[in-house]
Structure 1
Amino acid sequence: MKVKEIVLPFIHRKIIADTRVPITFGVILLLVGLFLMEGEFVAYLSFQQDSWRNQASVYLQELSDIKHEDQFVKNKNLQEEIANIEKTYKEVVGTYEDLVKLKEQTKVSEKLDETFVRALSELSERNFASGSATLSLLKQHISQEVEKLAIASAPGIENVLASNTPPSSGYDRQSVDSDIGRYLVDIVSADLSTTRVIVDTASDHDCSHDCPTLSLADYVSRNGAFAGVNGSYFCPAVYPSCSGKTNSFDTLLMNKNKVYFNSDNNVYSTVPAVIFGNGWIRFIGRSLDWGRDTSVDGMLANQPLLLSGGNIAFGGDDDPKKGSKGNRSFVGSRGNTVYIGVVRNVTVAESAHVLKSLGLENALNLDSGGSTALWSGGPASPSQGGYKLGPGRNIPNAILFVRK
């Protein structure tokens, strides 16, 4: 018989039925009854907990069985395979684009193409580890060829005048001694009191795909410029990853016609920029810090910012393209003088050291690789001026020096 079947009738008889029982004694009996009932309730809960624990064990075992069923294992394996495919696809595209970029500049050894084909063959057989390793090897070979090309395309540095002072005006090629070594620099200087700096674009408005491009010589010619350099990063048509956005650029820019490009998608942009005013130049660390002022002559955003206030602003990152050797275009300033040029055979971080050694106070990195081009000496006429480096591929925008 349960406790409550004994206690409750007794309490009822002694407290309720028998009014002679003192109230105090009745309360004590009631508390005793509740205590005994609580013990029974605790025992009941303990029993239920054991039951729930046993049921949970059953559920866990069933879940474990499901995880080891063929379909579950198949789905997990499929997810891993998809992840491998996505990873190696990005590696393939990136390596192919590096190979295309190299082919734009020089004749490529058949061994590089053969290595690329071998990687594709390994990946087609789902041998992702071997395919990835082959792609890594190919990237190393491409990087070595790019470095050799940069060295071969530059005049012997020993035959170039060593100077850490840029020209007061016009063009010069000079070797610069920096804290990281000696490097070759092609540079054009101009006084902002007599020079207007503009940004010209092949398109008249925003363009997200199949955008028009021009050679640097064409930009120089149609503006009557005496110097020019390639502009911001863009997506070349020869790159597979640029499908659907060929020749487009996505950073902020205002051209000579006071038209802002990519304004809506750069409201919160942290990409650095340079602004060209009437007799002044300004560098900012983030595009979002600049409004949409059309009273200036032009502005262009790109990255990274190399120098700021005479200090190195970029020391390198995990981007292998910035970390590889190559020719690096730039725009910079010191006081009232503006500079455009190319530092040869350097990483992006190394170019910052070289430009600091030249005495520049501010500098912004521009597009490089197959887009690199520098013009000096007058409008696009062989008798008046020409490419100091390039011509490179056609580009969607350029920075130009024009006489006031």
Structure 2
Amino acid sequence: MAAASIKFLKKPKIGIIAGIIALVAITSYFGYTQIYTKTALLAAVERKNETLMAEIDSLKKEFEELKNQDQIKINKDLTTEINNIQKTYKQSISVYEDLTDLKAISKDTKKLDDLYALAISILANRDYSQATDKLNELAKNIADEKAKVTVASAPATANVPQNNTPPGSGYSRQTVNSDTGSFVVSIVAADLGSTKVIVDTASDSDCSNNCPVLPLATYVSRSGAFAGVNGTYFCPAEYPSCAGKTGTFDLLVMNKNKTYFNSGNNVYSNNPIVVFQSGSMRFIGSGSGWGRDTGVDGVLMNYPLLVNGGNVSFGGDDDPKKGSKGNRSFVANKGSIGYIGVVHSATVAEAARVLKTMGMENALNLDDGGSTALWSGGYKVGPGRNLPNVILFVKK
């Protein structure tokens, strides 16, 4: 009985031990499997991160290449080149227009024409720096030649009587000795009590391109005037920069038919105007202060105002055209006497001082250069190019 009991007890113990061993083995297996799986996952994540980092590095390199070779750098290069083209093109147009003005007073421009052709050839090869240098050289040569021709063609002061007092009526050519030098002045005087001052225009209304222009003599004839002078600045057909707006003038004008031109463009304009009314001329420093009164005989805007209240009102600015020697047209008054005329071979600032010396109370600068024209029984200066508007003296 005892032996049988022992055998019976041993069998369960062996089973339990075997079960424990099996459980440990299974637990170890699954634990190892979990550890292995986690390790494998971590390794996979690390490999993926490494791959992503490599891709990011590759994208960075591609972006840097694009910056240097394509989008950003090329766009910047294109922007720089476009700016160079625009700057040099504008300069070439300005120089060409100066050369055109010179041709109006000088026939000997072949060397300057050749230099301009060379500058354009260099510009076509995209050598903007050298083209700019050549254009600067040409601009200086044109200015020097213009000054030389202007002085040579101006009436010699030695041959023109000296008189600082303007005429009381009619036409006079006289030398005026001012504090800035001696200058010849061609001038027409008219008593505003017996003279009507009008503005005549080639166009009947506002015009935006290919606007009509006429010689000063034609205006004088058709209006029955005894004297006249060129009017506002305008865009001549021979200027490349005037393409699409030839013959236009952006300044305020009221003509003899009581028609206002460019009214909308000059609501806030600070440019001065002269108003012609019965018995007087009224000079206003800013056109924005003028309405659109049609009860006057004429209105004309231009710049700069040379003399205001007997004092010089323009001493010069940074515009090289105003600072070069040339024939300077003007309209002025001294009391009840109206004047139109030309100061020869003067800068705009010099013309202002000359007119002050003559005792003018007010004076307004008009267009000049190739547009300069003065009529009194015939051309006294000019005829110059055809004009879109003029100032005329007509007997009442």
Instruction: Report the TM-score range of the alignment, normalised by the length of the smaller protein.
Output: 0.7 to 0.9
Which residue does the alignment assign to 1:369? 369
Contact 2:103 2:109 in 1 (8 A): no
Query: What CA distance in whole angstroms lies between the structure 1 residues aligned with 2:280 and 2:61?
Result: 74
Gaps of at least 5 residues in structure 2 are 1-56
Query: What CA distance in whole angstroms lies between the structure 1 residues aligned with 2:276 and 2:67?
Result: 65
Which residue does the alignment assign to 2:336? 336
Q: After superposition, what is the alpha-carbon deviation per residue over 1:75-95, rounded to whole angstroms, capped at 9, x for unaligned?
A: 111111111100001001011
SS in 2 for 1:105: coil
Q: In the superposition, relative to structure 1, how do residues 228 and 119 fare at CA in structure 2: closer, same or farther (>3 Å)?
A: same
Which residue does the alignment assign to 2:219? 219
Which residue does the alignment assign to 1:202? 202
Q: How much does 1:285 deviate?
A: 1.0
Which residue does the alignment assign to 2:141? 141
Q: After superposition, what is the alpha-carbon deviation per residue over 1:176-205, rounded to whole angstroms, capped at 9, x for unaligned?
A: 111111111101111111111000001111
Q: In the superposition, relative to structure 1, how do residues 63 and 193 fare at CA in structure 2: closer, same or farther (>3 Å)?
A: farther
Contact 2:162 2:175 in 1 (8 A): yes
Query: What CA distance in whole angstroms lies between the structure 1 residues aligned with 2:180 and 2:142?
Result: 24
Q: After superposition, what is the alpha-carbon deviation per residue over 1:246-270, rounded to whole angstroms, capped at 9, x for unaligned?
A: 0110100000000000011111111
Which residue does the alignment assign to 1:401? 393
Q: After superposition, what is the alpha-carbon deviation per residue over 1:129-188, rounded to whole angstroms, capped at 9, x for unaligned?
A: 111111111111111121122222222211111111000111100111111111111011
SS in 2 for 1:74: helix
Contact 1:102 1:108 in 2 (8 A): no
Query: What CA distance in whole angstroms lies between the structure 2 residues aligned with 1:242 and 1:389?
Result: 25
Report matched runs for 1:287-326 at 5 Å.
287-326=287-326
Q: After superposition, what is the alpha-carbon deviation per residue over 1:238-291, rounded to whole angstroms, capped at 9, x for unaligned?
A: 110000000110100000000000011111111111000011110111111100
Q: In the superposition, relative to structure 1, how do residues 83 and 359 fare at CA in structure 2: closer, same or farther (>3 Å)?
A: same
Gaps of at least 5 residues in structure 1 are 1-57, 377-384
Task: Tell whether 2:110 aligns with 1:78.
Answer: no
Q: How much does 1:111 deviate?
A: 0.5
Contact 2:197 2:393 in 1 (8 A): yes
Task: Tell whether 2:387 aligns with 1:388.
Answer: no
Which residue does the alignment assign to 1:132? 132
Query: What CA distance in whole angstroms lies between the structure 1 residues aligned with 2:126 and 2:156?
Result: 47
Query: What CA distance in whole angstroms lies between the structure 2 residues aligned with 1:286 and 1:317?
Result: 18
Which residue does the alignment assign to 1:69? 68
Per the normalisation by structure 1, the TM-score is 0.81
Deviates more, 1:149-158 or 1:165-174: 149-158
Q: After superposition, what is the alpha-carbon deviation per residue over 1:197-239, rounded to whole angstroms, capped at 9, x for unaligned?
A: 0000011111111011110000111111111000000000011
Which residue does the alignment assign to 1:38? none
Q: In the superposition, relative to structure 1, how do residues 62 and 163 fare at CA in structure 2: closer, same or farther (>3 Å)?
A: farther
Query: What CA distance in whole angstroms lies between the structure 2 residues aligned with 1:390 and 1:69?
Result: 60
Which residue does the alignment assign to 1:176? 176
Q: What amino acid is aligned across from residue 389 of structure 1 in structure 2?
A: V
SS in 1 for 2:100: helix
Q: What amino acid is aligned across from residue 283 of structure 1 in structure 2?
A: F
Q: How much does 1:64 deviate?
A: 9.5
SS in 2 for 1:83: helix
Contact 1:276 1:297 in 2 (8 A): yes
Q: How much does 1:103 deviate?
A: 1.1
Which residue does the alignment assign to 1:360? 360
Contact 2:92 2:135 in 1 (8 A): yes
Query: What CA distance in whole angstroms lies between the structure 2 residues aligned with 1:231 and 1:63?
Result: 64
Query: What CA distance in whole angstroms lies between the structure 2 residues aligned with 1:104 and 1:279?
Result: 37
Q: In the superposition, relative to structure 1, how do residues 125 and 198 fare at CA in structure 2: closer, same or farther (>3 Å)?
A: same
Q: How much does 1:361 deviate?
A: 1.1
Which residue does the alignment assign to 1:22? none
Report matched runs for 1:219-298 at 5 Å.
219-298=219-298
Q: How much does 1:67 deviate?
A: 8.3
Contact 1:273 1:286 in 2 (8 A): yes
Contact 2:227 2:394 in 1 (8 A): yes
Larger Rg: 2
Q: What amino acid is aligned across from residue 217 of structure 1 in structure 2?
A: A
Percent sequence identity over aligned pairs: 60
Q: What amino acid is aligned across from residue 386 of structure 1 in structure 2?
A: G
Q: How much does 1:110 deviate?
A: 1.0
Q: After superposition, what is the alpha-carbon deviation per residue over 1:269-322, rounded to whole angstroms, capped at 9, x for unaligned?
A: 111110000111101111111000000000000011111101111111111111
Moved over 6 A (4+): 61-64
Which residue does the alignment assign to 1:381? none
Which residue does the alignment assign to 1:117? 117
Query: What CA distance in whole angstroms lies between the structure 1 residues aligned with 2:93 and 2:287?
Result: 29
- The number of aligned residues is 337
Contact 2:230 2:389 in 1 (8 A): yes
